[in-house]
Amino acid sequence: MDKQSDRVIVIGAGPVGLCLSLVLAQQGIRVCLIEALGDDNFLDQVPRAGTNHPATLELFDRIGLYDKLETRGIIAPLFHYWDRQEGKLIAEFDHIHLKDDTRFPYVLQCERIKIAEEALKLARAHPDIDLRLSTTLTSFAQDADSVTAFVTNSAGEIESIRGSYLVSGEGARSIIRKDLDIEFEGFTYPDRTLNLEVAYDFRKHGYTERNYISDPDEWSNLFHWKGPPDRWRVHFPTRPEETEEELSRPEQLQARLQRFLPIGRDFEIVGWNLYTVHQRVAKKFRAGRAILAGDSAHVNSPIGAMGMNSGVHDAFNLADKLVRILRGEADADELDRYERQRRHVAVQHTQAETIRNKRVLAEKDPAVRKANHDLLRRTAEDPKLARAFLLRTSLIESLREADRIP
Ligand SMILES: Cc1cc2nc3c(=O)[nH]c(=O)nc-3n(C[C@H](O)[C@H](O)[C@H](O)COP(=O)(O)OP(=O)(O)OC[C@H]3O[C@@H](n4cnc5c(N)ncnc54)[C@H](O)[C@@H]3O)c2cc1C
């Protein structure tokens, strides 16, 4: 294969495309990284995902990204389950139970946009990454030996780029997945999630940096992000019939927060957005030389913070296999193992866990709620049970299980 077609074409400079590109380039594989956003608007994206689990931190460390992020985030060893009806803390989990399982027995609260910004700097500085911003993939073609991506470049011209493999890190609306006619199996919740960004320190009310709050009428998530100024993100469910216009009225947003926690004065609301939550997994992660990773392969509810984390895990798994294939140390069937491993994780861990998380927070039956809370309490109090629980919630178990899949 000539030098041009040897490179890997990666579409999307989100966390997944960036991590994949960095792993490949750092192991001597040339990459062409295509991103629709440009220097003028890359940092305008909403922050989105922000909890980085221990296993993800180990991977970030491998590519020199962890040190850049630690200073921009908050180290959070604890997370809480609260009962809003009773106004009580149900359970406190401490990642210290994972001290023998990981070098990072905590999560790092650091938003997607900061991760993308720091990883983009590393990608820009790497001589083997040909970074093309303001460039959009429109279609692609493949044959037995190569793949060609057709893009509209920053000058508005159509350009064709040839490579050995094409990886979609394009996010949930992947053109590559749609072009390949791969079904995105699953469902969409009828209720959208309201995300409010608030400048207020909730820790004075007993909350920690990461809180899951159960309530039969209005469950919540509450997360702390580093500023300046520091911000807290509060998620609320909405009713399907509520319009965006109704939901976003400032007095409605304020009233919702005051019902959650009356503080005797207005909250400073610094941002809000509304999003639709899907639980979907692509039926296949690979067709020939085109491969899906991250949100283009699977999307899920943010309860449990698994979307971006599991996407980053896809990126490292796939990159290590592509390196071996392109060095001639493995054949292309290795990519089927990528699909077996990561699709298993998406279905059996990420989907199962996030669907269960939402069910527990929104449970209406008082007896089931009590049983759920009792179980969480018992689990947090018993070090053995707490470790097993944390291995699952922090995705370490999913990685160990995937490793055992031949
Ligand atoms: C509002 C919102 C809130 C979220 N909150 C959470 C959360 O709290 N916790 C959590 O775990 N997850 C959350 N997620 C999900 C999380 O952000 C994603 O799982 C994660 O960003 C996926 O990374 P990715 O790299 O696969 O895709 P993305 O981050 O979506 O990145 C895709 C990139 O590809 C680029 N691109 C797309 N199409 C093209 C094209 N045709 N040509 C060139 N470039 C293209 C895009 O511009 C983008 O930069 C949230 C998502 C949303 C939308």
Question: What is the per-residue pLDDT for 44?
Answer: 87
Give the other-Cβ count within 10 Å of 36's Cβ.
Answer: 19
Could you tell me the distance, in angstroms and rounded to a whole number, from the CA of residue 57 to the centre of ligand 1? 18
Q: How many residues does the chain have?
A: 406
| CA nearest ligand 1 atom 2, residue | 48
Could you tell me the distance, in angstroms and rounded to a whole number, from the CA of residue 336 to the centre of ligand 1? 24
Give yes or no for residue 374 having a pLDDT over 50: yes
Q: pLDDT tens digits for 215-233?
A: 999 999 999 999 888 999 9
Give yes or no for residue 2 having a pLDDT over 70: no
Mean pLDDT of 310-327: 98
Could you tell me the distance, in angstroms and rounded to a whole number, from the CA of residue 14 to the centre of ligand 1? 6
| Pocket-forming residues, ligand 1, beta carbon under 6 Å | 11-17, 34-37, 46, 48-50, 112, 136-137, 169-171, 175, 273, 275, 294-295, 302, 305-308, 311
Query: What are the C-alpha distances in Å from 79 to residues 5, 89, 93, 224, 341?
Result: 47, 11, 5, 11, 28
Interatomic CA distance for residues 351 and 299, integer angstroms: 8
| CA nearest ligand 1 atom 6, residue | 49
Hunting for tokens 């040839």 — which residue is that? 162
Q: Ligand 1, residue 296: give the atom nearest the CA.
A: 26
Could you tell me the distance, in angstroms and rounded to a whole number, from the CA of residue 302 to the centre of ligand 1? 12
Could you tell me the distance, in angstroms and rounded to a whole number, from the CA of residue 172 to the centre of ligand 1? 7
Band (pLDDT 50/70/90 cuts) for residue 3 is: low
Interatomic CA distance for residues 353 and 358, integer angstroms: 9
Asked if residue 119 lies in contact with residue 18, where contact means CB atoms within 8 angstroms, the answer is yes
> Of 112, 136, 212, which is best to mutate to test ligand 1, by the most ligand atoms within 8 angstroms of its C-beta?
112
Question: What is the per-residue pLDDT for 1?
Answer: 44
Question: What is the per-residue pLDDT for 5?
Answer: 64
Mean pLDDT of the chain, nearest integer: 95
Band (pLDDT 50/70/90 cuts) for residue 6 is: confident
Question: What is the per-residue pLDDT for 8?
Answer: 98
Question: What is the per-residue pLDDT for 4?
Answer: 56
Interatomic CA distance for residues 296 and 172, integer angstroms: 5
Question: What is the per-residue pLDDT for 390?
Answer: 97
Could you tell me the distance, in angstroms and rounded to a whole number, from the CA of residue 382 to the centre of ligand 1? 37
DSSP code string of 277-326: -EEEEES-SEETTEEE-GGGTEE--STTS-HHHHHHHHHHHHHHHHHHHH
Give yes or no for residue 310 having a pLDDT over 50: yes
Beta strands at 129-132 and 31-34: parallel, antiparallel or unpaired: parallel
Interatomic CA distance for residues 128 and 27, integer angstroms: 10
Query: How wide is the angle at C-alpha 47 spanned by C-alphas 186 and 310, nearest 5°?
Result: 40
Asked if residue 182 lies in contact with residue 175, where contact means CB atoms within 8 angstroms, the answer is no
Give yes or no for residue 355 having a pLDDT over 60: yes
Q: Which two tokens stand for residue 102?
A: 């990981």
Mean pLDDT of 332-356: 96
| CA nearest ligand 1 atom 39, residue | 170
**Nearest CA-CA partner of 44 in 148, 94, 120, 117:** 117
Mean pLDDT of 265-271: 95
Give yes or no for residue 292 having a pLDDT over 90: yes
Q: What is the CA radius of gyration of the chain?
A: 22
Could you tell me the distance, in angstroms and rounded to a whole number, from the CA of residue 192 to the centre of ligand 1? 17
Q: pLDDT tens digits for 68-113?
A: 999 999 999 999 999 999 999 999 999 999 999 999 999 999 999 9
Q: pLDDT tens digits for 383-398?
A: 999 999 999 999 999 9
Contacts of 365 (CB under 8 A, 6+ apart): none
Give yes or no for residue 36 having a pLDDT over 70: yes
Q: Ligand 1, residue 275: give the atom nearest the CA.
A: 1
Give yes or no for residue 47 having a pLDDT over 80: no
Mean pLDDT of 135-162: 97
Interatomic CA distance for residues 147 and 145, integer angstroms: 7
Q: Ligand 1, residue 151: give the atom nearest the CA.
A: 42
Interatomic CA distance for residues 135 and 13, integer angstroms: 11
Query: What are the C-alpha distances in Å from 246 to residues 218, 221, 240, 269, 386?
Result: 17, 21, 12, 16, 42
Q: Ligand 1, residue 309: give the atom nearest the CA.
A: 11
pTM: 0.96
Could you tell me the distance, in angstroms and rounded to a whole number, from the CA of residue 320 to the centre of ligand 1? 22
